[in-house]
Amino acid sequence: MLLIYRFLLNALFPFIISIIYLRTFLNKEDKIRYKEKIFNNSFNINKNDQKKLIWFHAASIGELNSIVPLINKLNEKQEYEFLITTVTLSSSKLIKKLFNGKNIIHRFFPIDKTNLILNFLNNWSPDLIIFVDSEIWPNFLLEIKKRKLPLVLLNARITKKTFMKWKLISSFASKIFQTFKLCLVSNHESKKYLEFFKAHNVKYLGNLKLASKNKTTNLNNFNKEILNRSKFWCAVSTHKTEEIFCLKTHLNIKKKHSNIITIIIPRHIDRVENIKHECDKLNLRSQILNEDEIIEENNEIIIINSYGVVSNYLSICKSVFIGKSIAKKLKPVGGQSPIEAAKFGCKIYHGPFVYNFQELYNLLNEYKITEKINDENELAKKLILDLFNSGIINNVAIENINKLGNKILLNTFYEIEKIIKNENFKT
């Protein structure tokens, strides 16, 4: 299986390069640093050899946000330097906002090709390696194991669909998952799947994303008049077709209340023009809002065109709809994480398809802040009750979530420290 994987990767590599080049012209890749993904001599090594290097790989924004509290905790004594690799352009921009730069280096994750891997590991020579969530790259993992470097799978999440795919190549999957010295899983389902493949030292501590801190709110996009006279609700991480669902919900609310503003934050912002087109077809006044712009008067649909700003809007919304959960024609469905909204104490609405985060939704349901809806009429009725009656932020839920998050963070920190202390780190 490994030989097939390597053969296909090598055969497709010229095509991958072409795709990355194309993405630079579409502003989906860094126009200079894209080379870090595909060229041997472009890593720009500038590490501090006097400090131990901990390498975190977090593919995109969600994974990146989840490791911020842990890195900050590990960085308290200033004993380590941190290399963070990501894949997406948006995540690289966000790093500058999340960290002050001390002991933090960012690079783009190279393609999982043997010569790139060897050069990357030879140059960086990390002391501890931590892959986040579901980042599984066979060539990297096997080479790391060959070098006997300590490797951790952090906040691991394996869905049933992913498990069934790995199960088709069970012996190969076992070989891959056994490269990890420690697997800290985010839910019990993932623990069961990893144990099936006989992964080493699998532990359930809880979802590390619950330890994330609410970011400083920035309401520069709003003027005080709009904030005072309007009611807001958010649709977060929406996918194709779900925006139409949200627009129909808005129209239903509008029949009774005209002072309503719907904020749509799509999962992929390259679709904002398409969403605006749908607004135009329904005669809804809309605005594509960039990070440095002000909401214009008389617009009722605001379409967010920037990453890393969700918290700004959650802070003013009592009620939130979480996407990838209701579009029956959407494949694959299965929901998106509700954690960020939960930590603001928002009332969270979702469709029937949240199985990728079922355990998390069950937990939040115990705090009475989540509720399933089936259509736009049902959501509109719920939102009217929330927004125009005595709905309040659930402070008890916020307190419980924060306590649980802090516990998960401390337990995760202790597990990572055990790995560090048990290894012969370079001095």
pTM for this prediction: 0.85
> Per-residue b/e over 34-48, b at no fewer than 16 CB within 10 Å?
bbbbbeeebbeeeee
Q: How confident is the model at residue 303 (pLDDT cuts 50, 70, 90)?
A: very high
Interacting residues of 5 by C-beta distance below 8 A, sequence separation 6+: 138, 139
> Taking residues 237-265, what's their average pLDDT?
91
Residue 306: both structure tokens together: 């920037």
Domain spans of the chain?
A: 32-211, 224-401
Report how far apart, in Å, the C-alpha atoms of 378 and of each of 333, 335, 367, 372, 382 are. Answer: 20, 19, 21, 10, 6
Residue 28: which of 93, 82, 83, 102 has the closest Cα?
A: 93
390 has pLDDT over 70: no
What pLDDT shows up at residue 427?
40
CATH number of 224-401: 3.40.50.2000
Q: How confident is the model at residue 306 (pLDDT cuts 50, 70, 90)?
A: confident
Helix, strand, coil percentages (3-state) for the chain, rounded to 5, are 45, 15, 35
Task: Give the C-alpha separation, 350 to 321, whole Å.
Answer: 6
Q: Tell me, what DSSP letter sits at residue 36?
A: G
In CATH terms, are 32-211 and 224-401 the same topology?
Answer: yes
What pLDDT shows up at residue 128?
96
> Taking residues 147-171, what's their average pLDDT?
93
Residue 150: which of 53, 231, 31 has the closest Cα?
A: 53
> Taking residues 48-75, what's their average pLDDT?
89
CATH number of 32-211: 3.40.50.11720
Which range of 15-29, 48-62, 170-184, 396-410 scores highest in mean pLDDT? It is 170-184
> Taking residues 116-129, what's their average pLDDT?
93
Q: How confident is the model at residue 221 (pLDDT cuts 50, 70, 90)?
A: low
Q: How many CA atoms lie within 13 A of 294 on its CB side?
A: 10
Q: How confident is the model at residue 311 (pLDDT cuts 50, 70, 90)?
A: confident
| Cis omega (within 30 of 0) for bond into 332 | yes
What pLDDT shows up at residue 392?
58
Q: Tell me, what DSSP letter sits at residue 78?
A: -
Q: How confident is the model at residue 332 (pLDDT cuts 50, 70, 90)?
A: low
